[in-house]
Chains A and B, each alone.
Chain A
Amino acid sequence: MTRIDTSPEAGPPAIRVRGLVKHYGGTKALDGVDLDVSEGTVLGVLGPNGAGKTTLVRCLSTLELPDAGTALVAGCDVVNDPRRLRRIIGLTGQYASVDGKLSGWENLYMIGRLLDLSRKDARRRAEEMLERFSLTEAAKRPAMQYSGGMRRRLDLAASMIGQPAVLYLDEPTTGLDPRTRKEVWAEVQRMVGEGVTVLLTTQYMEEAEQLASELAVIDRGKVVATGGVDELKAKVGGRTLKIRPSDPSQLSAMQRAVAQSGLDGIAGAHAAVEECLLYVPILHDEHLTSVITLLGTRGFGISHIGTHLPSLDEVFLAITGQKSTSVPSDEPADRASDTLPEEVAA
């Protein structure tokens, strides 16, 4: 917040990555990554295990030296200016890095002292953060007795002690149950509301959708797609309207009628005979009305109607050609109750 040198209107992106490369032995963990994150926004870096997400965060937080390329974070070069950079960033890693033997308060107080706060300020800040992350009651207990969610919140609190301008969240909810995950999301949303720039890596499509305004899909060390959440979905084909005629024999007649309507992209309408469903790609919301009105005026009876928005899982599948690795129980609820994902991704 107060730590960024650049003013919001004039400033370059808070994070600017160009051609970042990192090898580990023979494997290229990062293979020329380009990214921009505007100040005060959340970039979701989405990818399966081993895609290079953690390596990216490690390079941007001075834990690893990149082999090639440049990365500027709030104007600081990660290679040439690590000391200044470390005053600007906060990191919450995949594994909570709080000290289990220390109480929550001690953990935060220590971070405050390491950030050169006076004893008094470190104490005050620790208490503020405990309060804010609803840990005041557990303040005196050793962190190893905390639940997974509490540890993660303490970890976030520790990252926030120094009021970082840029926060890296490396899979912040991996291994958490759905309810705890929602708690962590709420905290992250609150931090973003306070103007922090966030780079979030995740394997969970739902998480990216919830938190990120922009997405970068990363696979085998390369960014394979970028854009807003909606933009990416549109790339994969946008929304689909499903219609079932009351009389199955009218399916092909219905398809012809719709195809002749001349609406944008409507030629892609296709019939699935076995299911007795007509699939109509919809690029604009008003086309929904148009299609239904058209069918009504032509006198077609309809027994079922539904729309399907591709989930990010499907987006990912369509872009990288491989399934994301999210755990089944964590998959986002299917938006169209009776549609199998393959139907749309195909």
Chain B
Amino acid sequence: MSTATFSPSPSTAPPSHSKHAEKDGAAGRNRIGLRANLRHIGAFTRRNVMQIKQDPESMLDVVLMPVVFTLLFVFVFGGSVGQSLGGDSDSYVNYVVPGLMAMLGMNVAMAVGSGVNDDFRTGSMDRFRTMPIARSSVLIAKIVVELGRMLIAITILLGVGFALGLEIKTSVLALLASVGLSAAFGSSLMWIFILLGLTMRTTQAVQGMAMMVLMPLQFGSSIFAPPSSMPGWLQAFTDYNPLSNLADAARGLISGGPVAHAAGMTLAWAGAITLITAPLAVAKFRRST
């Protein structure tokens, strides 16, 4: 309700404090005030950033994946796929980079699952739960940080792409829109991985399970090659694969071409995934915390 219901600091004079406490108690399930909530999310975000700082290897996926994948696909498949697209490896850059953008969102989102899982296996969560904070702030901070990681990965991807001859044939605004679309879809996927992270017993199991989901989605899509040469049943799959939709939308936004249908499909997918898995993940989180 109002922000007045959280009591500001333990060092407040005793009389006013007990009044606050009474109000808090009377309010029962009253939520933590918005400002306090933002402060808690900020504290957890800082924690996650500090964890990364202490363990820089955890950024390897974000830094290396875009570089390795772009180089690999452009130089290995660029020639042949580029030719079949009616150009050379240069035109493949414009094909594959938007596709990789879709893929990165998914791969980075995966890490959130192991992070949530880690928190539960160590005693951290217990301490947070005995504190007067909204539990969801732990999850929200995780998502904020993963979004940041996602944007770094996409920036590096675009950097490598430009070095290899990526051309923006539309506008910077359209490019930003494609980044935003990828981030939006990636965030919706985070809920799936949070759900996995809360369900699986070990971090390794989370990663194994995530790979099982990721691989067919990634390769059975229009990310790396146009589906027109694929068998009919696979084309049917790729048509509805949200990664194809996202890749096609990003392609349209960067190189020009139809966007509306693919972007609409992507947003529909993102919305549907969030609507279904976010409540499940939050419920699971409530129960297990």
Minimum CB distance partner of B52 in chain A = A101
Known: A83-B24, A114-B43, A114-B128. A99 touches B10 (CB 8 A): no
Known: A116-B8, A118-B9. A110 touches B46 (CB 8 A): yes
Query: In this assembly, does B231 line the interface, its C-beta being within 8 Å of a C-beta of chain A?
Result: no
In the complex, are the beta carbons of A97 and B122 less than 8 A apart?
yes
In the complex, are the beta carbons of A91 and B47 less than 8 A apart?
no
Chain B: number of interface residues, binned into ranges: 35 or more
CA distance A114 to B21 in the complex (A): 17
In the complex, are the beta carbons of A87 and B47 less than 8 A apart?
no
CA distance A83 to B22 in the complex (A): 11
In the complex, are the beta carbons of A106 and B131 less than 8 A apart?
no
Query: In this assembly, does B11 line the interface, its C-beta being within 8 Å of a C-beta of chain A?
Result: yes
Chain B: minimal CB distance from A301 (Å): 62
> For residue B14, which residues in chain A have a CB less than 8 angstroms away from its CB?
2-3
Q: Which one of B30, B40, B54 contacts A114 once the chains associate, using CB atoms below 8 Å?
A: B40
In the complex, are the beta carbons of B123 and A102 less than 8 A apart?
no
Chain A: minimal CB distance from B243 (Å): 32
CB-CB contacts of A81-105 with B at 8 A, as 1s and 0s?
A: 1011011011101011101111100
> For residue B123, which residues in chain A have a CB less than 8 angstroms away from its CB?
93, 95-97
CB-CB contacts of B42-62 with A at 8 A, as 1s and 0s?
A: 111011001100110000000
Query: In this assembly, does A302 line the interface, its C-beta being within 8 Å of a C-beta of chain B?
Result: no
**Looking at chain B's contact residues, is the secondary structure mostly helix, strand, loop, or mixed?**
helix
Chain A: minimal CB distance from B152 (Å): 19
Query: In this assembly, does A61 line the interface, its C-beta being within 8 Å of a C-beta of chain B?
Result: yes
Minimum CB distance partner of B29 in chain A = A83
Query: In this assembly, does B204 line the interface, its C-beta being within 8 Å of a C-beta of chain A?
Result: no
Q: Which one of B7, B9, B50, B129 contacts A102 once the chains associate, using CB atoms below 8 Å?
A: B50
> For residue B30, which residues in chain A have a CB less than 8 angstroms away from its CB?
83
Q: Which one of A80, A86, A97, A102 contacts B54 once the chains associate, using CB atoms below 8 Å?
A: A102
Known: A5-B21, A84-B24. A91 touches B130 (CB 8 A): yes
List B residues 98-157 near A (Cβ within 8 Å). 122-124, 126-133
List A residues 104-129 near B (Cβ within 8 Å). 106, 110-111, 113-118, 121
Query: In this assembly, does A223 line the interface, its C-beta being within 8 Å of a C-beta of chain B?
Result: no
Minimum CB distance partner of A94 in chain B = B123
Query: In this assembly, does A148 line the interface, its C-beta being within 8 Å of a C-beta of chain B?
Result: no
> For residue B126, which residues in chain A have a CB less than 8 angstroms away from its CB?
63, 91, 93, 97
CB-CB contacts of B226-266 with A at 8 A, as 1s and 0s?
A: 00000000000000000000000000000000000000000
In the complex, are the beta carbons of B51 and A102 less than 8 A apart?
yes
> For residue B42, which residues in chain A have a CB less than 8 angstroms away from its CB?
113
Query: In this assembly, does A76 line the interface, its C-beta being within 8 Å of a C-beta of chain B?
Result: yes
CA distance A121 to B39 in the complex (A): 14
In the complex, are the beta carbons of A114 and B51 less than 8 A apart?
no
Query: In this assembly, does B279 line the interface, its C-beta being within 8 Å of a C-beta of chain A?
Result: no
Q: What are 16 A-B residue pairs whose CB atoms fall within 8 Å in the complex?
A: A2-B13, A3-B10, A5-B21, A63-B126, A81-B25, A84-B25, A87-B24, A87-B132, A91-B127, A96-B123, A97-B123, A97-B127, A102-B47, A114-B128, A114-B133, A117-B9
Known: A2-B13, A111-B131, A158-B127; 15 extra A-B contacts, CB below 8 A, are: A3-B14, A3-B17, A83-B25, A86-B132, A90-B130, A95-B123, A97-B126, A102-B47, A102-B54, A110-B47, A114-B40, A114-B44, A116-B36, A142-B54, A162-B10
Q: Which residues of B contact A (CB under 8 A)?
A: 6-11, 13-14, 17-18, 21, 24-25, 28, 30, 36, 39-40, 42-44, 46-47, 50-51, 54-55, 122-124, 126-133
